[in-house]
Amino acid sequence: MAGSIALVGGDEFRDGCEPMDEAILAATGKSAPVTLIVPTAAAFERPDLAAQNGVRHFSSLGADAHTLMALDRDDAMDAGLASEIASADLVYLTGGNPAHLLEAISESALLNSIASALERGAVLAGSSAGAMVMGSWMRFREWRRALGIVDRIATLPHHERTDPDSTLLELDTSAPDELNAVLGVDGRCGALSGPDGWTALGPGNVTVYRSGAWRQYTDGDNFTIS
């Protein structure tokens, strides 16, 4: 995988996200990155508004931003829609319902195009539901297998609402054994992958759970998961 991954904890496209999203755009290496906002997860809660908010936000940061209105399984299997990914420098999966997003894009033409984009160096970002589905597993009511784009990792979004000690106890008894780490990501924060590991972004914390312990990282901190 040549491109970077950004796992965002939710509250995307809002005031305070600008420094994080500028770093995500910078990871594309382009001065005006072609950015596609994909609101599949928001299909049942004003996907048009989610997409428009994303376009407005990233356009204000200098991106060449557009929507890709793939809302269900039929859309995700549409070769014409999927082909639009070929021009993207950044693909951004919005928040919403992670179960719907996973069902819609698993083993789809859209997912194949996203994988090809990553291979050529594009950045894939996901917020909340969009971040959850990228791991090998996701926790949504119960643990279930996810897309595996980020191997042996799971993401818990909106993590500012939780207590790390309580979360650690729960993960110790419930998380799948094959996970190397679980990332708890606060809203308006993210974890951005790079050649040497991950970088925490945003005003809150990225909490990494592994080996029976947790550690928090703040904006600009680098960390590795092995």
Q: Distance between CA 18 and CA 190 in Å, rounded?
A: 12
Q: What is the DSSP letter of 41?
A: G
Q: Distance between CA 28 and CA 38 in Å, rounded?
A: 17
Query: pLDDT (tens digit, 9 = 90+) per residue, 22-48?
Result: 999 999 999 999 999 999 999 999 999
Q: Does residue 63 come out as left (phi exceeding 0), alpha (psi in the -120 to 50 range) or beta?
A: beta
Domains of the chain with CATH codes: 5-223 (3.40.50.880)
Query: Model-level pTM greater than 0.95?
Result: yes
> pLDDT per position in the chain (226 positions), as tens?
589 999 999 999 999 999 999 999 999 999 999 999 999 999 999 999 999 999 999 999 999 999 999 999 999 999 999 999 999 999 999 999 999 999 999 999 999 999 999 999 999 999 999 999 999 999 999 999 999 999 999 999 999 999 999 999 999 999 999 999 999 999 999 999 999 999 999 999 999 999 999 999 999 999 999 7
* Type of residue at 212: G
Q: Distance between CA 7 and CA 137 in Å, rounded?
A: 14
Residue among 111, 173, 117 at smallest CA distance from 148: 111
Average pLDDT of the chain is: 98
* 3-class SS of residue 30: coil
DSSP H or E segment with residue 131: helix 129-132
